[in-house]
Structures are given as structure tokens and as C-alpha cells.
Amino acid sequence: MQRHIAPLLVCPACLPKERPLELTAAAEADGDITAGHLSCRGCRRRFPIRDGIAVLLADPDAGPSGGQWKYEEGGILAAYLWSHFADLTGDPEGGDAYAAWASSIAGSADTALDAGCAVGRLTFELGQRSTLAVGFDLSLAFIRAARQLARERRITFSLPREGNLRDEFRLALPDPWRTDGVEFVMADALAIPFARETFARTASLNLIDRVASPLAHLYEMNRVARPSGASFLLSDPFSWSTANTPEEKWLGGTETGPYPGRGMDNVRALLGGKDGVIAPPWTITREGSVWWKIRSHRNHFELIRSEFLVAER
């Protein structure tokens, strides 16, 4: 964890109270804390930093729960690396989804946040136009791979070609890409461990239908965003499922309840100030959709369309 992000952090266990975390570094190299912990004087929890990864979860000692285990598996990691970076490996099947998402957020900024960053493609893209770009995810495997890519600028992975045959992919970041201002931490999208009004650019890709409380996620993204001079990118396929979210908390996909109809319509209304949940309200400046793929093997892909909106204030 880069030392300079420590002053931006708050205790995820104490939210909505924002209590700062105190850094204790046990090992450090060139401003990167490789071992140590962050502690909260309020609840007295300690959040470890292991192998450079800050574990900023309300219960930092708890393991993955529910379906989160699958994101620690090597096959899933490789599939997401391909989905995010296949175009940079030279694979003609790779798409331009992440470049399209990144281009939808206009202008440069001092700070940017990528919620549920997975293996980090959008975070790296935001890092080219930001002094500091932070990505966070619940998956240790994803964050470890993203940090490796930030430090070493290259990574190798393989995916099934057919049966037991495999294709190897060698990924290298483009030479002009800056990585010195890119950081990745483990964190929860429902308890974002950053102080309010920290980020000028925020993004939530393919996440809102995967959290236990989508409304709480919107609230948290709004909390850490600047009250003015801010942009917010939200994109999602709205694949509502009770495996991830209790039906009564869906923000769409139902005919009755507080948020009937389509998810994007409800998100748009909430960002605009409906029910007073999100304040100050946002103005929607752009909408569209992006197709993206996950590869299973050479002849099997999952093709997904995510709707997106860009909001500004």
C-alpha cells in the first residue's frame, strides 16, 4: 500500500462515523508499505497490510463468504484477466469495453475511485488521467494480480483451449501507461474505507446487482464523491438474483415494491434526487450500453451487455 493514501482512509467498521486510521509500517520500500497495519482508535480494530495489500474490511480476519469463494479460484482469475486485458495481449477476440467505459468519463482529475475493480483495467485507465487512481475489490486474488501488474507491468496467465489443452497469454501494459499513481486495496462496496468527498471521478462497473444492498452502495459511492466538480460512471447488466441480493432490496426487476420497473430508470431517478437518498443530486450527461465478454475456452464465450450512465455535478 502506498504510504500517501493513508491520510485518506477511514475505519470501515465504524462507518457512518468517519474515524481516521493510523498507519504502522513494519516494512517499506520506496513509499510502498509491504507489511504493517492500520488501526482505529475508536473500535480498536487492526487492518493488516500483507504483501503490500491493505485489507480494509470491517472484519479483516473473515474469509470469503457465500459465492465470493469462486473469485479466489485460478480459473476465474484468468477469465477476468482475459476479459479486462485481452486486447492488450493481441488476441483478436478481445474487445474495447474498458476503453469505451474509460472514455465516457471526461477530463482529468486529481483523484479517481474504481469500485469492484476486479483485476483493475478501469483503474489503470483512470490512472492515465488522475494523480491518484484507487481500485478496490473483495477478492484477494484479483487485488494481488492487479498490484503485480502495477509493479511489474506484465503478467502471464492461461485459459483452456479445448479439453486439457491450454492457451497462454502474455500481458504487458503499454509503455506510456503510468502506474505510479495507481493503487489497489481490499475493501467492501458497502463500507468504502475512504473519507467523504475524496474523489473527483468515481466508477461502479457491473457491481450494483452483485451487492447485498444496492441502495447502500449508491449511498456509499455518493459519500466519497466530491459535492461539485465530480463525475460518476455506473454500468451494469442488471442481472438481479436472490443469490446476491434479497429481492426486497433490488432496485428494479419487479412489478411492485419501492423500486418497480427497470434498474437503470430507478438508478437515474435516485441519482437525480428521488427520495432524498442522494444529495446533492447528480445530472445525467450521457447514457448508452457496452458489450463485454468473458472467455471460458477457445470456442465458448459469455457475451454481456451493460447499460451505463455518466452523472456529473
| Mean pLDDT confidence for 6-23 | 98
Give residue-wise pLDDT tens across range 252-287.
Answer: 999 999 999 999 999 999 999 998 999 999 999 999
| Mean pLDDT confidence for 234-239 | 98
Question: What's the rounded Cα separation, in Å, for the pair 274 and 207?
Answer: 21
Give residue-wise pLDDT tens across range 20-45.
Answer: 999 999 999 988 999 999 999 999 99
Whether 65 has a pLDDT exceeding 70, the answer reads: no
Give the pLDDT confidence score for residue 66 in this predicted structure.
Answer: 63
| Mean pLDDT confidence for 95-116 | 92
3-state SS track over the chain: CEHHHHHHEECCCCCCCCCECEEEEEEEECCEEEEEEEECCCCCCEEEEECCEEEECCCCCCCCCHHHHHHHCHHHHHHHHHHHHHHHHCCCCCCCHHHHHHHCCCCCEEEEEEECCCCCHHHHHHHCCEEEEEEEECCHHHHHHHHHHHHHCEEEEEEEEECCEEEEEEEECCCCCCCCCEEEEEEECCECCECCCCECEEEEECCCCCCCCHHHHHHHHHHHECCCCCEEEEEECCCCCCCCCCHHHCCCCECCCCCCECHHHHHHHHHCCHHHCCCCCCEEEEEEEEEEEEEEECCEEEEEEEEEEEEEC
Whether 86 has a pLDDT exceeding 90, the answer reads: yes
Give the pLDDT confidence score for residue 74 in this predicted structure.
Answer: 76
- Confidence category of residue 54, pLDDT binned at 50, 70, 90: very high
- Confidence category of residue 70, pLDDT binned at 50, 70, 90: confident
| Mean pLDDT confidence for 7-11 | 98
Whether 166 has a pLDDT exceeding 70, the answer reads: yes
Task: Give the chain's mean pLDDT.
Answer: 95
Whether 244 has a pLDDT exceeding 70, the answer reads: yes
Whether 67 has a pLDDT exceeding 80, the answer reads: no
Give the pLDDT confidence score for residue 136 in this predicted structure.
Answer: 99
Instruction: Supply the CATH classification number for the domain 64-312.
Output: 3.40.50.150
Q: What is the pTM of this model?
A: 0.95
- Confidence category of residue 61, pLDDT binned at 50, 70, 90: confident
The residue ranges of every structural domain in the chain are 1-62, 64-312
Asked whether the beta carbons of 85 and 152 are under 8 A apart, the reply is no
